[in-house]
Every structure is written in structure tokens, then in C-alpha cells.
Amino acid sequence: MPIVPVCAPEQESRYDIHIGHGLLHRAAPLFSAYEGRRAAVVADSHTAPLYAQALLGQLAQAGIDATLVTLPAGETTKCPEQLSVLYDAFLDARLTRVDLVIALGGGVIGDITGYAACTYLRGVHFIQVPTTLLAQVDSSVGGKVAVNHPRGKNLLGAFYQPELVLIDCDTLRTLDARQFGAGLGEVIKYGCIADGALFDQLESLGSREALLPRLDGVIARCCEIKARYVKEDPHDHGVRMQLNFGHTLAHALENAMGYGTLLHGEAVCIGMVAAARWGEALGTTPVGTVGRIRRLLEAYGLPAERPAGLSSEALAATMALDKKAEGAVIRTVQLTKIGACTGVPLTSAQLRDLL
């Protein structure tokens, strides 16, 4: 069973990511440090019926008195109102500062539960049990927690590292194909920005079916890469921004098309092809890179081009409002080859011309 250590030195935080099959049914020993405590397991209406019973059983075996809190499934749950629902549930369960909050679900549940764990009583113990591929390779690792504000995504947030991440690869069996594909977009991103060998491996496997038997190793590799970024730049002031490859256009597309029309990982796929194209046009990225990324995305059944009818002016204007914009300059990430990248600042006018 792969174990990936994560260290966020500025936050004095170290924890392990455990990756394996059937972990939800044999996790009790991993909870032994919390024996005698109370816990709230936060799931959504999709993950609670599938996995809560197994997790609650393991917590009981570890001597932890756990309560289940179930929120509605979907992005709209990541809001201040549902945060209040969590605080009420934690108070009803009489959680104190020695107690534990566990997120059981995808990115939405991980983000809102982490934010609640960070702010309730100024911070209680927090564990992530991610059940989507995207959450397993990205959002459950590295401590970014948040809820949305009516004026924008993730505007209320914090850095709050979990103390343990449990990835049971069997949960991916119940994930629908589109959500799985969205996670694959982020996997391909790691290959593009940091690991040419991972990109080569995905190319030679060439399909979702061929990837499945190798998935736990691939998830572990993605977690190792993410852990390296978190160690170097836990607060996202520098090199961690490379994880945003493809995200400049992705965020603008999600915003322009209405959140939920394109899944985040799908928008990232389209954004990666666009960013590679900008890099080729500017001479940062070797010619031919766009073609390789496009072919890989197509092999895995993922989108590569933005839907017709979205104006370049409107997209460039939205990109200028991105959280990562600095004054008139938008920090894009461009590939110097498959497996390495660099930050390239561009103005909104440059981006409009490149789109």
C-alpha cells in the first residue's frame, strides 16, 4: 500500500497519505491516535449511503464516538449557509478542541469541511477521505479549504492541513465517467508540468481501460508531486502556482458558461491546450507540444477545445478578474517542455490576441 508523506514546514505540519484498495474497511488502526475522542463525519447525499457505514464501523472499532452529518451533493453546498449547518452539527455532537472532523466525499465536501474544521473552536483535528479522482490527486492534499461567496468561488478560505488522508481507490468504481474524466484532466496536468515520465506512461497506456489497473500507482505519483509543491510553497506565493497550468482559461470558461456546465477538470483540459498554444506562439513551449497534449486528451475521452460562441474579448476580460491576477498582469503558466514549466506574465490585451 503506497504511503506518501506530506510536510508543510511553515505550518509545522506533517501527515501521510495512505493509498490502497478497500482502505475504508480496514482503516481502524490508522485512527488509533484518536481513541476515546468524538468525531463528526461529513458526507453528502451521494457519498453517505455508499461509504458512511464502513467508515463509522472503523471509527467505532478504534474507540471513537462518531456522528454522521449529511449535506446536499453539489457545488451549491459550498456556501456560508451550509457552513452554519456544520457548526450546529458540531455543537450538537459536543465536539471540543480535542475532537475530530472527517471529510468523506469529493472536493466540495473536503473544502467546506476543512474550512469548518479550521474555524470551529479555532481549529479541531481534521482528516480527509476523498472519494473522487480529482479530490484524491489534488484538493484533499495541501490544505486549501474554502467556501464560495455569492460573488465568486473560494473567496472565503484558509490553509488548514489535514492530519491524515485516506484514499480508497475502490471508491472510484462508483464514480461516473464524466467525474472520473475530470480527475484525469488533473492527472495529465501533473505530467505536463512536472513529470514527463508520467505523461509518457499515460501516452503508452492510451485509454482509461488500460490505466485502471495502474491507477493506485498513478494516484501516488500525483500525490508525491503535489506534496513536493506543498513542501516548497505551502502558502501559494511562488512555485505552487505552477499547479494552475491550464487554470487561467479554465476559470474564465467556468465563469462564462455558468459553474457546473463544464466540470472544473474538463475546463482545465481545454485550458491546458490553450496555454500550450500560447507558449508555442510566444516561443516558451516547443512546437508540437499542443499536438501531444491534444492527442492524449482525446485518447482519454477529454475535451481539448473551448465550445464555439464564446468571445475572446469577454474571456480575456474575465481572466483579468482572476484571483491570481496581479494589477494589469495575469500570471500564466507555460510549458518549457512536457514535464517542466515556468510562469509567464501576460496582459489582458496579449491574452485576447492569443485566444
Instruction: List residues near ligand GLY by CB under 6 A.
Output: 138, 142, 144, 236, 240, 243
Say how far apart CA 286 and CA 123 lie, in whole Å.
47
Q: Which residue, 318, 139, 300, 158, is CA-closest to 235?
A: 158
CB of 86 to ligand GLY, least distance (A): 22
Which residue's CB is nearer to ligand GLY, number 64 or number 223? 223
Say how far apart CA 265 and CA 257 lie, in whole Å.
14
Rama region for 195: left / alpha / beta (φ>0; ψ in -120 to 50; rest): beta
Which residue's CB is nearer to ligand GLY, number 87 or number 259? 259
Say how far apart CA 243 and CA 245 lie, in whole Å.
6
SS3 for 143? coil
Measured torsion, CA atoms of residues 282, 334, 133, 33, in degrees rounded to the nearest 10 = -170
CB of 68 to ligand GLY, least distance (A): 27
CB of 17 to ligand GLY, least distance (A): 14
> Beta-carbon neighbour count of residue 52 at 10 Å?
20
CB of 186 to ligand GLY, least distance (A): 8
Say how far apart CA 158 and CA 8 lie, in whole Å.
14
Q: Which residue, 221, 213, 247, 202, is CA-closest to 343?
A: 247
Q: Which residue, 209, 219, 184, is CA-closest to 1?
A: 219
Which residue's CB is nearer to ligand GLY, number 239 or number 328? 239
Which residue's CB is nearer to ligand GLY, number 292 or number 324? 324
CB of 287 to ligand GLY, least distance (A): 28
> Beta-carbon neighbour count of residue 207 at 10 Å?
11
Which residue's CB is nearer to ligand GLY, number 202 or number 227? 227
Q: What are the cell numbers at 268?
A: 482545465
What count of Cα atoms within 13 Å lies in the side-chain half-sphere of residue 136?
28
Q: What are the cell numbers at 95?
A: 465536539
CB of 51 to ligand GLY, least distance (A): 23
Which residue's CB is nearer to ligand GLY, number 254 or number 280? 254
Angle at 255 (CA atoms; ends 254, 257), nearest 5 degrees: 65
Q: Which residue, 182, 103, 172, 174, is CA-closest to 143?
A: 103
Which residue's CB is nearer to ligand GLY, number 70 or number 242? 242
CB of 247 to ligand GLY, least distance (A): 8
Which residue's CB is nearer to ligand GLY, number 70 or number 136? 136
Taking only Cα atoms into account, the Rg of the chain, rounded to an integer number of angstroms, comes to 20
CB of 139 to ligand GLY, least distance (A): 6
Say how far apart CA 12 and CA 245 lie, in whole Å.
28
Which residue's CB is nearer to ligand GLY, number 78 or number 352? 78
Contacts of 209 (CB under 8 A, 6+ apart): none
CB of 144 to ligand GLY, least distance (A): 5
CB of 138 to ligand GLY, least distance (A): 5
Which residue's CB is nearer to ligand GLY, number 20 or number 246? 246
CB 70 within 8 A of CB 45: yes
